[in-house]
Structure 1
Amino acid sequence: MQPDFAHVDTWIFDLDNTLYPARADLFAHIDRRMTAFIADFLSVDPVEARRIQKEYFLGHGTTLAGLMADHDVDPHAFLAYVHDIEMDALEENAPLAAGLAQLPGRKLVFTNGDRPYALKVLERLGLGQSFEAVHDIVAMDLTPKPAASAYVGLCTAFDIAPTRALFVEDMARNLKPAKAIGMTTVWVDNGSEQDHDADRSYVDHRVTDVTAWVQSLLEDQ
């Protein structure tokens, strides 16, 4: 393994726009269902619903967190509704499955989505057997990345030594707390980033495609 990664014994991956290409644009479907949920729940028009949605996303980390804080939304009803989408845009990724199988150590998924949705995505990608576990928003006690508690809870749940772990994520801001506790960080710069933070000091490695990056690690062994 390349020297920068030789210490890693736990490989942690975000799910959406990380384990599949951003061009699949699953979030566009989820995004529309979030807007529809808010419009119905708060009895507002779609324009106002979308404004609220994005305000909560920026201020709370997820739209759900804001809705729970201000409107006592049932999180399970919200998650079930917004994740009820078609996944035709996803294709099986045999090269990534093969590459993950060869990486030395444990592999985990760390997502602000819920486990049922994550398992459907992984199955569609042919990655259903690639990961030991999914640590989802429910396991985070509904406090999402980038809250520090989400990362501490992940490490506690799976007995992870942060300095021997690596986290791969398309949202750069979600890497900052990981770096703060000692994880090696990999930013998937694939165009899905939705914030404009100029500070990238907490990014150790920048890649554009996870499959190609995993394959490059194995080629250099």
Structure 2
Amino acid sequence: MDVTIFDLDNTLYAPEACLFSLIDVRINRYMTEVVGIEPERVDGLRRLYWQRYGVTLGGLIRHHQVDPEDYLEYVHDVDVALCLRPDQRLRQSLESLSGVKVVFTNGSRGHADRVLQALDLADQFSEIFDIRVADYCPKPYADPYHRVLTHLGADAECCAMIEDSADNLRTAKVLGMRTVLVGPALQADYVDARVERADQVSEVVMGWRGQSL
């Protein structure tokens, strides 16, 4: 494996940090206060848009003519430092992981920058690919994966995808990547390995590299 691709939210930090719940609140507020959707419709629409478009933003663009940049700025306007602290164990793990390391997120680059700064990991990744990489088309659609691979000049077979989302790993596996699920166990043929925490990823990936020597 020459490239290790990490998701951001609920992957590099644990869901228990509750950072994403703050973003969820901002998404709901945007839909009611900015877009003008009735509060009782928000949960149903979010579920519908996730099913159809992969993220809430996709439905808001298509059905409510939302400016995606305005949305991204609004929903990621949260105090990351309230939830996250430097993660020295993860930092040491990433330092031991050779090759190219990048972040690939359905969030914004600004949000990713703030998260990595809070975790003291900003210097560990050579690139951040956000929702803009394929014109706001999100994971698990294949197009953003192809854009990332093209930008990196890498073959999928040389990449490992690290995610908390099974759907996102499924696409990675179809494209030919090795996959690591961060979080609860899941029996699926598109999950090659599972770890509890992101700081355990380097051992798995380096093990694969050893097997290929």
TM-score scaled by structure 2? 0.91
Partner of 2:194: 206
Q: Deviations over 1:155-214 (max 9, x none)?
A: 0011111101000000111011111111000111249xxxxxx87221111111111343
Partner of 1:69: 62
**Which residues of 2 match residues 5-154 of structure 1 at below 5 A?**
8-87=1-80, 88-154=82-148
- Residue aligned with 2:131, SS: coil
1:160 partner letter = A
Q: Is the 8 A contact 2:180 2:201 kept in 1?
A: no
Q: Which of the two has greater helix per residue?
A: 2
CA distance in 2, matches of 1:218, 1:199: 22
Q: Which residues of structure 2 form unaligned runs of 5+?
A: none
Task: Provide closer, same or farther for how the CA distance between residues 162 and 89 of structure 1 changes in structure 2, counting only shifts above 3 A.
Answer: same
Root-mean-square deviation over aligned CA pairs? 2.0
Q: Deviations over 1:78-118 (max 9, x none)?
A: 00000001121111011211221221200000000010110
Q: Is the 8 A contact 1:168 1:187 kept in 2?
A: yes
Task: Provide closer, same or farther for how the CA distance between residues 65 and 24 of structure 1 changes in structure 2, counting only shifts above 3 A.
Answer: same
Q: Deviations over 1:110-159 (max 9, x none)?
A: 00001011000000000010000100001221000001101101100111
CA distance in 1, matches of 2:149, 2:207: 29
CA distance in 1, matches of 2:173, 2:98: 21
Percent of pairs identical after alignment? 37
Task: Provide closer, same or farther for how the CA distance between residues 147 and 199 of structure 1 changes in structure 2, counting only shifts above 3 A.
Answer: farther
Aligned residues: 208
TM-score scaled by structure 1? 0.88
CA distance in 2, matches of 1:209, 1:215: 11
CA distance in 1, matches of 2:168, 2:207: 28
